[in-house]
């Protein structure tokens, strides 16, 4: 597994696990607050992982893929949770 994939997929998994936990553990009126917190944690995790990789080549692309992918995942989770709570 290359550094590119190995530094992107954990952030996506964090977003998926976080959105599932938000759906299970939080009350329906607090879904959006907790999803924003999951996105913040995913963004900070992206920075930490990219600092750990120590490779300058493709840094912006890796960060864009990590943050963009987690944004898409959380947008889908927001839609699903909005349909469930309606």
Give the torsion through C-alpha atoms of 48, 54, 57, 62, to 10 deg.
-20
pLDDT of residue 25: 95
Task: With a cut of 90, say whether residue 13 has pLDDT above it.
Answer: yes
Of 10, 84, 2, 7, which is closest to residue 51 (Cα–Cα)? 7
Q: What is the pLDDT of residues 24-58, one digit of tens each?
A: 999 989 999 999 999 999 999 999 999 998 888 88
- Are 19 and 36 contacting, i.e. CB atoms less than 8 angstroms apart? no
Task: With a cut of 70, say whether residue 1 has pLDDT above it.
Answer: no
How far is it, in rounded angstroms, from Cα 1 to Cα 5? 7
Q: Which residue shows structure tokens 């349909």?
A: 83
Across the chain, what does the average pLDDT equal? Answer: 93
């Amino acid at each position: 597994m290359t550094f590119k994939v190995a530094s992107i997929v954990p952030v996506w998994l964090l977003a998926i696990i976080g959105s599932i936990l938000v759906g299970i553990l939080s009350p329906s009126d607090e879904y959006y607050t907790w999803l924003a917190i999951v996105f913040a944690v995913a963004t900070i995790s992206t920075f930490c992982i990219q600092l750990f990789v120590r490779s300058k080549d493709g840094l912006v692309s890796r960060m864009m893929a990590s943050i963009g992918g987690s944004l898409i995942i959380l947008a889908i989770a927001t839609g699903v949770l909005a349909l469930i709570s309606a």
